[in-house]
């Protein structure tokens, strides 16, 4: 069978999203969760570029992806700041320990 | 086929990033994913995005991760997941199935259209995005303050203090013979 680049990209997007959701569900380390978000967003960026290729509007897709990259970096920064502060206050990176915060 | 190889490499790197024992190794595998995705972007014709992705995704984010991990420290041991395996597996299968169902049967015919150049689209059609980006960068600066903020006593008797004290001691011991030589 002969696959076009866009077909391969859609397959890759599905795999990257699967890996990202798996990590979000099954890992408990806060920094691992931020890494999972990064993997998810990389899949989404590939999907947007693929959509731009299909609809022949690659420049619009590029503009959107640049905004996504900026937002994604900020999300990573704030997620890591949260993880560092949780580590300082509770001495652990475990998500389950966060239930101790319940007033 | 080059596209398939790059896509496969990025998926393998993503799985390695998830499965890696150490957090630093995980961050470095993530940089690998980012680099592979950037090469894919370049080959598919999205040149500007490829450059931004390679410098921000593989460069800046990796540095930030290594920095945050060096502050927060490694978490020893592998924690058991809270979600039961069957429920998580079913949810992921449902997600992948839905995505495939919505995507694959669609007609993948390219629509012919003329498009203005990248600069016009980026600065004029999507000009409002710039405002959003400036706001986001401001939020990011506030987040960095949170990352750098010092609590009065972060971790008492931390390993870092012990290592620093030991290194200072060794440096003192190494420094003395040289001084003797110089004086002779």
Mean pLDDT (whole number) for B109-126 = 77
Q: What are phi and psi of A94, to 5 degrees?
A: -75, 130
Signed CA dihedral, B98, B101, B102, B104: sign only: positive
Q: For A5-101, give the CATH class.
A: mainly alpha
Query: Exposure of A80 by Cβ count < 10 A (0-12 exposed, 13-18 middle, 19+ buried)?
Result: buried
Contact A95, A101 (CB under 8 A): no
Query: Is B175 a residue whose pLDDT tops 70?
Result: no
The C-alpha of B68 sits at a distance from chain A's nearest C-alpha, in angstroms, of 6
The closest CB to that of A70, out of B37, B99, B133, belongs to B133
Q: Which of B45, B60, B68 to mutate to test the interface with A (most CBs of A within 10 A)?
A: B68
The closest CB to that of A17, out of B46, B73, B99, belongs to B99
Q: For chain A, give every domain's residue range.
A: 5-101
Cβ within 8 Å of residue A51, ≥6 positions away: A61
The ipTM, to two decimals, is: 0.90
What is the separation, in whole angstroms, between the first and last Cα of chain B?
A: 69
Is the Cβ pair A8, B15 closer than 8 Å?
no
pLDDT for res B42:
93
Six-digit token string for A49: 């570029």
The closest CB to that of A88, out of B104, B139, B154, belongs to B154
Is the Cβ pair B139, A74 closer than 8 Å?
yes
Q: What is the pTM of this model?
A: 0.80
Weakest mean pLDDT among B3-17, B64-78, B157-171: B157-171
Written as tens digits, the pLDDT of chain A (103 aa) is 567 778 888 888 888 999 998 888 888 888 899 999 999 999 999 999 988 888 888 888 899 999 999 999 999 999 988 888 888 877 777 777 777 666 5
Is the Cβ pair B126, A15 closer than 8 Å?
no
Q: Does B133 contact chain A (CB < 8 Å)?
A: yes
List, as one string, the DSSP characters of chain A.
Answer: ----HHHHHHHHHHHHHHHHHHHHHH--BHHHHHHHHHHHHHHHHHHHHHHHHHTT-HHHHHHHHHHHHHHHHHHHHHHHHHHHHHHHHHS--BSGGGGGG--
pLDDT per residue as tens digits for the range A5-22:
788 888 888 889 999 988
Query: Is B165 a residue whose pLDDT tops 90?
Result: no
Mean pLDDT value across chain A: 86
Query: Is B164 a residue whose pLDDT tops 80?
Result: no
């Amino acid at each position: 069978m002969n696959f076009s680049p866009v077909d391969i990209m859609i397959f890759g997007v599905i795999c990257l999203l699967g890996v990202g959701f798996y990590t979000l569900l099954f890992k408990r380390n806060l920094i691992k969760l931020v890494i999972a978000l990064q993997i998810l967003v990389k899949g989404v960026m590939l999907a947007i570029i693929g959509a731009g290729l299909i609809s022949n509007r690659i420049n619009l897709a590029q503009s959107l992806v640049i905004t996504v990259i900026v937002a994604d970096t900020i999300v990573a920064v704030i997620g890591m700041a949260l993880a560092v502060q949780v580590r300082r206050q509770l001495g652990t990176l475990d998500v389950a320990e966060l239930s101790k915060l319940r007033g | 086929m080059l596209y398939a190889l790059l896509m496969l490499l990025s998926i393998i790197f993503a799985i390695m990033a998830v499965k890696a024992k150490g957090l630093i190794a995980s961050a470095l595998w993530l940089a690998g994913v980012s680099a592979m995705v950037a090469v894919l972007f370049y080959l598919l014709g999205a040149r500007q995005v490829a450059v931004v992705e390679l410098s921000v995704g593989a460069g800046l984010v990796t540095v930030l991760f290594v920095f945050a991990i060096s502050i927060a420290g490694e978490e020893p041991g592998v924690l058991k997941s809270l979600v039961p395996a069957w429920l998580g597996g079913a949810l992921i299968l449902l997600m992948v199935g839905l995505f495939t169902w919505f995507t694959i049967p669609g007609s993948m015919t390219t629509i012919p259209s003329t498009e203005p150049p990248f600069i016009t689209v980026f600065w004029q059609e999507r000009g409002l995005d710039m405002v959003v980006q400036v706001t986001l960068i401001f939020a990011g600066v506030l987040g960095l303050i949170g990352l750098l903020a010092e609590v009065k006593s972060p971790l008492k008797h931390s390993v870092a203090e012990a290592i620093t004290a030991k290194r200072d001691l060794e440096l003192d011991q190494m420094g003395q013979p040289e001084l003797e030589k110089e004086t002779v």
